[in-house]
Chains A and B, each alone.
Chain A
Amino acid sequence: MRAATDKDLIERIAARDQTAMTVLYARHHVRLYRYLVRLTRNEATAEELMNEVFLECWRKADSFEGRSAVSTWLFSIGHNRAVSQMRKRGEDQLDEEAAAQLADDADTPEVAEQKRDKAAIMRACMDQLSTDHRAIIDLVYYQEASVSEAAEILAIPENTVKTRMFYARKKLAELMREAGLDRGWP
């Protein structure tokens, strides 16, 4: 028997089928939660935002027009809600310099030791990227979003998606160089 597609589930959810909602939740909640944690840097906030996304899905399933993947729709709602909440709290103003300063202040000798490790340096530098840059890197590398899916989630044109990813990677390379690791690019 064929497993129900996400779009099948959305149709059933629009007809108030809670079992379909449970299946859709099981399929997408972990990745959505991780995306929201990476964006907000707060697990409790990410959990609440994730619940808001699924509740909106439950309430508005009948308005889903099927022009995009269901996961794209969910991520788009999640991204919007996260960014708007961060904006309300003034958190998106946290620039890279401030983030870098925070990271430096928080460094224990142990962390400093770990930073000599290339992977750890890269991860620390990724955490210092702006919200926009963190979002695009996670969407492309972890969430496996295509150019058009990322454009829909972030509500920006496809060309902007490509250039934003390029500049996010460039910024990452610059931060790594400042941390003592020159990757030979750009």
Chain B
Amino acid sequence: MTDTQSREAQEIEELLPWYEKGTLGPDEMRRVDDYLRAHPEMQFRLTLIREELAETIAANESLGMPGTAARDRLFAAITAEADTAPSVGASLKAWWRNWLPEGMSPGLGLAALAACAVIIVQAAALVVFTFAEPQGGYRVAAGRETVPAQSGSYLFVRFADDAKAADIAVLLNELNAVVVDGPKPGGVFKLRIADRALDEAEREMTIQKLREKTDIISFVAPAG
């Protein structure tokens, strides 16, 4: 047997389990059919596969079914989650899907959105550089007060993918924190956690509190 013949025999042999199950594509089915017609001795291998197949099915069928208690636990968990607000990610994705023109892939839509965002950012930069006040400062998320850029204590955080908007709001409220910037690259937001400069121990305590909320916060680090 030449190397080519030997390689072909090996390739066919590897396909036989799927051939027997009928899960090959039409081209490969035809290829195996042709090979088996030309090499009837290979039929014996199919007999072995049928034995393995029968035993695998028998072993699986003998396992029975999962208990109803497992099902009840699952659907209790699902019902509990269904009663809470959808995740931030799910809401955004649903909103995004609704805005996409029919037939446009999410990737293409995202590219179009990114292009628009670049144009908007450039336009905003022009406005800011042209009309910016000479003093440093920015509006906080609530938009009711202006905080000097250097005052207060800040942290960088990234929210967990599954974090729910309601949970984030409760956590920020508990900490008396406000999102002042973001999302930055990597989905990072800047939080103001106090109006004054906290000492090291106070800031570390807040960081620790956030780190413990692993279902809401996936990353936290001091910001400046």
Contact = CB atoms under 8 A, between A and B. Distances in A.
A38 B59 contact: yes
A36 B8 CA distance: 35
A111 to B, nearest CB: 15
B204 to A, nearest CB: 31
How many chain B residues sit at the interface, stated as a range, is 35 or more
B78 interface: yes
B93 interface: yes
Interface string A133-167: 00001101110111100000000000000110110
Interface stretch (B17-25, B174-182, B206-214, B216-224): B17-25
Contacts of B73: 51
A144 B92 CA distance: 36
Given A30-B65, A55-B78, A172-B52, A166 B14 contact: yes
Interface in B1-56: 13-15, 17-18, 21, 23-25, 44-45, 48-49, 51-56
Contact of B21 (A65, A119, A144): A144
Nearest to A56: B162
A65 B106 CA distance: 9
A33 B49 CA distance: 24
Contacts, number: 114
Contacts of A37: 63
A86 interface: no
Contacts of A137: 52, 56
Interface string B51-92: 111111111100101110011011101110110001101100
Nearest to B53: A141
A92 interface: no
Contacts of A144: 21, 23
A165 B54 CA distance: 16
Contacts of B142: none
Contacts of A163: 14
Contact of A38 (B63, B75, B82, B89): B63
A69 B95 CA distance: 24
How many chain A residues sit at the interface, stated as a range, is 35 or more
Contact of B55 (A34, A54, A123): A123
Contacts of A146: 18, 23-25
Contacts of B132: none
A184 B14 CA distance: 17
B162 A59 contact: yes
Given A51-B73, A63-B93, A140-B18, A33 B59 contact: no
Given A21-B78, A140-B18, A140-B21, A51 B70 contact: yes
Nearest to B67: A47
Nearest to A53: B74
B172 to A, nearest CB: 22
A80 B101 CA distance: 35
Given A163-B14, A166-B13, A47 B70 contact: yes
Contacts of A21: 75, 78
Contacts of A123: 55, 58-59
Given A55-B78, A138-B60, 14 more contacts: A18-B75, A18-B78, A33-B63, A33-B65, A34-B60, A122-B51, A126-B55, A126-B56, A137-B52, A140-B21, A140-B23, A142-B57, A145-B23, A165-B17
A72 B74 CA distance: 20
A85 B52 CA distance: 28
A10 interface: no
A10 B86 CA distance: 16
B94 interface: yes
Contacts of B14: 162-163, 165-166
B31 to A, nearest CB: 13
Contacts of B51: 122
Contacts of A179: none
